[in-house]
Amino acid sequence: MIKVNGGRFMKIEEILSKKLNSYDKNVVKYWDCRIQKVVMETFYNRDGVAGNSEFKNEGTGVRILCFNTETGKSGWGFASTNILEKNELISCCELAFETAMASTIVSSGKLSFEPSEECGEYWTRLEIDPFKMSKKEKQDYVNKISEVLKSKETVSSSISIMFKKVKTNFINSSGSDIVQEIVYSGGGMSVTNSLNGEFATKSYPGYGNYRVGGFEIIEDYDLEENGKRIVKEATEILNSPECPSEVTTLLIGPQMMALLVHEVCGHATEFDRILGEESAYAGISFLKIEDIGKFKYGSDIVNIVSDPTYPKSAGSYGWDDDGTPANCQYLVKNGIIAGFLTGRENSHIIGRESAAANRASSYDKTPINRITSVNLLPGDKFTKDEIIAEVKNGYYVDDFCGWSINSDRNGFRFSVETMIKIEDGKLTQRYKNGSFSSKTTPEFWANCYAIAKDKPYVAGFTNCAKGQPVQIITVGHVVPQVTAFHNVKVGK
Amino acid sequence: MMIREELKKRFEKVINSLSCGGKIEFSIIKSNCTRFANSVITQNSTNVEQILNVTLAEKVENGYKLIERTTGNIENVEIIVEELLNKINESSVNDEFKGFLKNYRSKGVKTFYPSTGAISLIDKAELVKKIVENGEGLVVGGILVTEHEQIFTINSEGQKRCEDFSTYKVDVKYENSNGNSSSFQETGRNIENFDYETLSKKCSEKCRKNVDLSEIEEGEYDVLFAPSATSELIYFLSHIAFGGREYKQKRSFIYGKLGEKIINNSKITLINNPFNPLTLTENYDSEGMARREVILIKNGIAKSIATNSLVVDRIEDSNGNSMGNNAYCMLMELEGGTRNSEDIIKDCNNTIYISRFHYPTIDNPNKVILKGSTKDGTFLIKNGELKPVKNLEFIFEIPYLLENIVELSENREVLPQGSLASSLPGANIVPYSLAKGIKLENGKMGCLR
């Protein structure tokens, strides 16, 4: 509610919808608004220096599809503001309209959009509400963990935890009215040890892992015990031989697999990429529209879904930013490409319902096709231990620390903190500067021969970047505890 | 778009009433991003945002207790300060913070050009239309961003200033029917410097030549890095080598070597210069220290690093490069040579020409090893003629690569820092650079010690 002239209070939604509905419906063919409130807290301790920061913001974004009756062309426009005064909100609508009309100058023609007609609410269920805990409690927790991130070889250590609450109200010209409140929690820590001029870094969980939920997510990570472990492992890495160079059997742990699925399946199946709309910046995709149901992406045991309904995944929600209800769709089924990450604007091109994958990083950005919770489904035959036990000669890798992906996503190079030799079914020698590379398909995924059936790992990243201006969004990946591949190149 | 005087006075009153140290920074930014793909505008967004940052610092025995909040809601600044004061005791002691900075005199370089902020939505769309038309049938994509930001800063040590910044950023890619591309990027404060006509015509011409790509045989080559690629190499040094915190943590490869020859090549001179009017000029860093020109490498000898008050012993030792908790060089210039790039190319033979990198990432931060692939036009120069070849992967140890540079062009370009052209605030001014003795094996260029 905001105060308007005369001391009367009005809902922001009322001001926006009144203004937007006043436009000629032959010109403004569609509009939607997101009114969003964000609260974020971060607590850190870097090399003994502790601190915290708090971010609060509230704003609105207005998206309009206009039809220029003089030229017969359509265009999208978007405007946002966090100055929540009546005049500013009206000006925001006017800017969105003017921007859309300007877009019609360089347009492909008449655009159509099938609006959602959804009403409802979606809330994250919290076991321990981090926003009800005192700052001191959270800072003390971080400081306590930072105490274990030390050894005589340690030159640098850091730990941070983050909590973010995002409340969004979505309304559109078709009467949709959706309220969602999602709470993200997570964090990570790393330690760098040095010996004889060499450095080794070990992190956990990855460089930060995030899920939907409360402080219980942080407790699940058992940072204290894992902190002690990574300090020890960083020194072990320093005393390890250099990663060899060979083609071999590779078993991939969950943190690494989450990034791999993210980069070469998630991004490759974003439909705007496939349509060339991200070509100038994020890149293209080796996949084509006609690949659905035909293209052999991997071996028969490879099943990958987009599932924003998956509990606790950082890529889960009730509706996307088109107002489409979250739904699970196969991207790869039995090794064959089965679908793409779509929104309402483009799902009709492949004759499908929207995958509810049109997302904006915040109220001030326009939604684009994004990774949701893109999950590699577990196998049904072997456990992680059984898969390791079957390997005569190979390597186990996990914990990414560097990566480079081809523009069309059909090739990659990853560097890992964890690389351990497997000999006769047992993990033996650790290696430093581990890396592996391959062509995404068919080479890599066609050589996937086993996927663990254990309870999968829920990974989540807060730093998936795409779009211009860049939109950094939170995504999730539910992945098996181990996934096994033949014939992978390790080393330089 | 102006911050109201009444608001400035209110912030001043709040700061003056504090019993501890405090700083308020308030900014209003209006930006427009016109994004195009497949030769049409696909996204067009205009944003107006105000951001208030309040930081309080209470001196205690071993340092300071700090607390901060960033918010878009300015209505309750007095309440925010009261809430923070009530919670400041919950903060841990920070022994790195040395207090807020006093008022420093800046060089007073111009940071705002009205024409950049004033360009209309229609004019921008028309500009995009011309860039598309200059492609003459090529598929065109990219962005054109304009911004006007006003920042008011006040602290308990007497700092008080209001600054305006205008920025434009351009990133355009042309693609031919074979799916091969060329691109250009530019950034600056004054959009009147943006010569879209020359850049788009030159770029589309290059794209049209980028057909019938061949493979290159394995062997040893000279490599000519175009400014976009050179800029990327320099960008990675900015934080990994010259970052104040990395140096303090002894993780930088130049740690303990200031004053020593770190690159065995007297052609390499690198400075951080926030005053060049062609770049994203600035007078103050994020702490409020007056920016200054910093010589990082002079003829191969390490001279300095980027610092802020947190990584030095005394506040006055900061050289004005604060970026949050760290200190980075965001406005670097690599000194050029004596010949024009066209003359250098004429004399090239068996030389790989790299336009730009795709997805470069650091493989080993301590040695500054960079890996990735090339994009937007990779060529083999034979007797001064460019012949298109397929993109290549690479792994370069940047300091060693700089040792292998034999010539730098006289002409230089202003480029956004890093491949995330639209998201990073910095810009580099760099020449073409020609390196000798790069090995090509299995489709990958390598330059490692």
CA distance B40 to chain A (A): 5
- A1 to chain B, any CB pair closer than 8 A? The answer is no
Mutate to test the interface with B, among A83, A106, A198 (most CBs of B within 10 A): A106
- A53 to chain B, any CB pair closer than 8 A? The answer is yes
Token pair of B27 as six digits: 């900014």
pLDDT band at B421 (very low <50, low <70, confident <90, very high): very low
Contact criterion met (CB below 8 Å) for A369 and A400 = no
Per-residue pLDDT at B1 = 64
Give the list of residues 6+ apart from residue B430 with CB closer than 8 angstroms, or none: B227, B230, B231, B234, B333, B334, B412, B413, B415
Per-residue pLDDT at B422 = 46
CB contact (8 A) between residue B250 and residue A76: no
> pLDDT tens across A340-392, in order?
999 999 999 999 999 999 999 999 999 999 999 999 999 999 999 999 999 99
The pTM of the full predicted model, rounded to 2 decimals, is 0.94
> Interhelix angle for A223-238 vs A135-148, to 10°?
30
Residue of A nearest to B359 (CA): A404
Q: CA B285, CA B274: separation in Å to the nearest integer?
A: 10
DSSP assignment of B371-406 equals EEEEEEEEEEEETTEEEEE---EEEEEHHHHHHTEE
Residue of B nearest to A364 (CA): B47
CB contact (8 A) between residue B359 and residue A407: yes
Q: CA A187, CA A472: separation in Å to the nearest integer?
A: 16
The size of the A-B interface in CB pairs under 8 A is 221
Beta strands in A72-176 (DSSP E): 73-81, 119-123, 154-172
CA distance B423 to chain A (A): 6
Residue of A nearest to B132 (CA): A106
Contacting residues of B for A55, CB less than 8 Å apart: 69-71
Report the alpha-carbon angle B245-B251-B257, nearest 5. 95
List all residues of chain A from 165 to 194 with a beta carbon under 8 Å from chain B.
192, 194
**For residue B360, is the peptide bond before it cis, meaning its omega torsion is within 30 degrees of 0?**
no
Q: Where are the alpha helices (DSSP H) in B299-381?
A: 341-346
Contacting residues of B for A78, CB less than 8 Å apart: 43-46
DSSP assignment of B395-443 equals EEEHHHHHHTEEEEEEEEEEEESSS-TTT---EEEEEEEEEEEEEEETT
> pLDDT tens across B79-108, in order?
999 999 999 998 989 999 999 999 999 999
Query: Which of A482-492 are b and which e, b meaning 16 or more Cβ less than 10 Å from the residue's Cβ?
Result: bbbbeebbbbb
Q: What is the mean pLDDT of residues A70-86?
A: 95
- Among candidates B38, B251, B393 on the partner chain, residue whose Cβ is nearest the Cβ of A192: B251
CB contact (8 A) between residue A81 and residue B44: no
Lowest mean pLDDT among A248-252, A313-317, B68-72: B68-72
Report the alpha-carbon angle B421-B416-B266, nearest 5. 135
For residue B130, the tally of other CB atoms under 10 A from its CB is 12
Strand B351-364 versus strand A304-306 pairing type: unpaired
Give the list of residues 6+ apart from residue B413 with CB closer than 8 angstroms, or none: B186, B227, B228, B231, B429, B430, B431
- Among candidates A53, A407, A435 on the partner chain, residue whose Cβ is nearest the Cβ of B375: A407
CB contact (8 A) between residue B44 and residue A76: yes
For residue B179, give Cα distances in angstroms to A282, A284, A412, B272, B348: 15, 10, 20, 38, 27
> pLDDT tens across A138-190, in order?
999 999 999 999 999 999 999 999 999 999 999 999 999 999 999 999 999 99
Lowest mean pLDDT among A142-146, A175-179, A257-261, A278-282: A278-282
Closest listed residue to residue B110, CA positions, set B272, B280, B290 = B280
Q: Where are the alpha helices (DSSP H) in A344-409?
A: 384-389
pLDDT band at A282 (very low <50, low <70, confident <90, very high): confident
Give the list of residues 6+ apart from residue A380 with CB closer than 8 angstroms, or none: A453
CA distance A271 to chain B (A): 14
Contacting residues of B for A58, CB less than 8 Å apart: 72-73
- Among candidates A78, A92, A403 on the partner chain, residue whose Cβ is nearest the Cβ of B44: A78
Query: Computed from CA positions of residues B13, B16, B17, B18, in that sequence, does the dihedral angle turn out positive or negative?
Result: positive
Lowest mean pLDDT among A13-22, A161-170, B385-394, B412-421: B412-421
CB contact (8 A) between residue B43 and residue A368: yes
- The overall average pLDDT reported for chain B is 93
Q: CA B322, CA B272: separation in Å to the nearest integer?
A: 13
SS3 assignment, position B37: strand
Q: CA A52, CA B69: separation in Å to the nearest integer?
A: 9
pLDDT band at A121 (very low <50, low <70, confident <90, very high): very high
CB contact (8 A) between residue A59 and residue B72: yes
What is the rounded end-to-end Cα distance, in angstroms, of chain A? 59
Token pair of A483 as six digits: 């996934």
Closest listed residue to residue A59, CA positions, set A162, A131, A166, A164 = A166
CA distance A108 to chain B (A): 6
